[in-house]
Structure 1
Amino acid sequence: MSKMDLEIPKNKHNIEIWKSIFSSQNLELLNDTYGSINLKEITDLTKSPSLFISDLILKLISFLKKYDFTLFERTILKLDNMLSTTLFVKSCSFEDIENIYTENVVTNELLLFCFLKKILDGEYEDVKKYVVIVNGILIQIFNSNKKLVYKLMSIFNTNLLFNEAIGLFISDLSKHYIQLIVDEFPIGWFSQEKDYRRKILESINSESENYIFLLILLYEKRRCYLSNCLINDKIGLILNNTLTDLCSCDLNYYLKLFEDEEIIAKLIEILNFIKFLDSEWCYSKVDYKNKFYVYYSDLLILSFAYKYKNLNDGEVKDLFKDVMYDDFIKEIIHDDDIGSLKTIEENLFGIS
């Protein structure tokens, strides 16, 4: 089937034909047509190479939306298969989605999911209103299918808007459900440009019980992840591995829950772990280096807590010089991570 431009019907008879094509009784026409055409475009919704969109079908749907939005709205609310729902939502702007969502009680999980995906695929300068509607969609999905929300944690794991909305979403959840959601968070490498998890914390009242509970859960999740990494001595770790994408959560954990003296004591403890690393039993050279990086990543995080609390402790400084200026540090630390050693020094000695 060759490409063709969509022409607006010239008379009432043709208009009725267009309306009948998109009536709820004829939705399967889309699927029948889909199977017979040459499919070329990758959908912006799924970004899956297995799902393509026909120019003709999209033009038909776009015409329906412009010609009779009420009919379009009534039709989209009745869709019950992934293909048709994806096609219709692809033709929607955010304003269309907002109108349909706010003017109707949308209970169709498939439609809500497609709305969510379309919104999250966008790029926005001001995300506030988008966060609110994403949060509303999450609440609706959660009320009908909690397991689907848990799955969304991995699907949209690296989406900044989604992480910000999740923070707003879990603000009012019970601790039981917060635990279940955190359990589904995949742990990834640290990236300063894509600090996704920080967005969760920014959306929650830092004085609330749920904020404190979340900090504890995320701190424990990182500790568990690092313990599992040490069990597998075949994988060599570097700093970004051990910092993980939860490092900003760990930093907030120390800032919120630790007294000044506890920060100092923890730093001294970590520096001593590194100093006496040779006395620990290690299965291999990789295991030895991995243990170093676990301690070293904690040292870096704690150095920022020390800095932000404006601490000044002589024992910490002396121990840092004794341990971290040793030649074995330069031998064990990866070349790409040398810069972080300078950062720790600046944090502890107040060098700007």
Structure 2
Amino acid sequence: MPTTPRPLRKLGFLTIGLFDGADPRRGHESTLKIIELGERLGFDSAWVRHRHLQYGISSPLTVLAAASQRTSRIELGTAVIPLGWENPLRLAEDLATVDILSGGRLNPGVSVGPPMHYDRVKAALYPDTAETEDFGYARVRRLLDFVRGEPATDFSGTEGFEVFSDRVQPHARGLGRRMWYGGGSLRSARWAGEHGMNLLTSSVVKAEESEDFAEIQLSHIRTFRAHHPDGDEARVSQGLVVLPTDTASPAQRAKYEAYARQRLPRTATPQGPGRMLFAPDLVGPSAEIAERLFAHAAFREVDEVAFALPFTFDHEDYVQILTDIVTGLGPALGRRPAT
């Protein structure tokens, strides 16, 4: 089997945290139990997606605050918070608070752009400023400044019995270096590098200079590192969908294969006006998945992964997949268990 020039250093997973609208607690509890399981199995990180006005996690930082009190070692990340829904100052306070509660384990991932279905939600989200809101990189820049300790006001000092700070409180030391950008384009990769962020890559990229997924993702990684102060040591995490079947039942294997087969057509050509290109899901024994990953040009450039769990599977499926990733796929990729 070929080897990767970057031994796998961090093994993570990503979950969307779906729930039944009639019983939302059960779904949220399942997500927390999956994160607890991830720590027990030895994963280095657990990441949650963000969904507004859907039956998925709408408040990832609240979920991760709860997870921080049930775990002690595993890193906790968001992949990603869409900043179009957020006030950067308020978000900076929440990020710092959860990071403090977790003992410095938070890895916030963010992205920019207008909120999904903006024309239908803008009256509720920004009733007075919908037409003037800036959903570009300046929103990330504001968030980074607040997280990194830049002044948020020109006032500080004592007023009566109250003491005021001109910076976001609490200040979480080190959080500024754990900020991630979820990018799928060359422009995003370059911007994240220039601003000292880490880069989250996923199973979706923008087909700009090619229609080969691995080639496109590789160009994003190299562009990011070429513009990052840390150069080749700048952190990149890759998030593909992998479904190892080492200990799966025959019914589970059939389910996983049908899921991947249903999604395969979208990987053939760029989709929609944005020309978004999707990576195929990887299903099979760990040894076969490892072989395919070692052949993936972008995977050979990273030493961190956050493999994405499918949206609609059952809790028992996630337990089997995560267990096989740690016991089968991780070792096949040269990863040593966390201590």
TM-score normalised by structure 2 residue count: 0.27
Identify, as 1 or 2, the structure richer in strand.
2
TM-score normalised by structure 1 residue count: 0.27
User: Highest Rg: 1 or 2?
Assistant: 1
